[in-house]
Amino acid sequence: MTFTDQQVPSSFFSRAGIELHRAERYRVFVSLTVLDLDFVKQAAGDNFPAVMENLGGLVQSSVRACDFIAQIDDSRLGLLLPETSRQGAEIAVKRLCEVIRSHLSAIVDEEIRDVIPVEIASYPDTGGAKTLAGFLEELTNRRRN
């Protein structure tokens, strides 16, 4: 399945709900991350939609086959990481942010150093962080508004 096939956010939220129920039932990890790529609008200019699609494909090719990627809105990418702890998600996101910055630097022909804002929620909840179910509900509500 290509990234463009997965751009329907409702399928992302549905899949996240399924993975959360599976994680609760079998006591396995699952993490959900959202990368805010709003700064790409300024760097990409008029090419923003094409650059975002390109970045989605790049992220898809940089993660495992079981991970699920979707464009949540015009500038945010959601990543659903089954059987991944919060620590594993943090490591994956750090690597992905480097890949994204490197790719954008090549496109605009200057070094991109912007910090990419990231939100992460995991099951089971770690250290009093936002629960995955609460994070999923918040994302769904933001999408509706």
Residues 79-137 pLDDT 10s: 999 999 999 999 999 999 999 999 888 887 888 888 999 999 888 865 545 677 777 77
Helix (H, G, I), strand (E, B) or coil at 74: coil
Task: Specify the higher pLDDT residue, 3 or 47.
Answer: 47
CB 49: neighbour CB atoms within 10 A? 10
Q: Looking at per-residue confidence, does 143 or 53 come out higher?
A: 53
Whole-number pLDDT of residue 125: 67
State the pairing for strand pair 118-123/30-36: antiparallel
| pLDDT digit string, tens, across residues 9-28 | 678 888 988 998 899 899 99
Give residue 82's pLDDT: 96
Burial label, 66 (beta-carbon count in 10 A; 0-12, 13-18, 19+): exposed
State the pLDDT at residue 4: 43
| Architecture field, domain 3-144 | 2-Layer Sandwich (3.30)
Distance of alpha carbon 86 from alpha carbon 132, whole angstroms? 11
The answer to whether the beta carbons of residues 93 and 101 sit under 8 Å apart is no
Whether the model pTM is above 0.85: no
Sheet with 68-73: list strands edge to edge. Answer: 68-73, 76-82, 30-36, 118-123
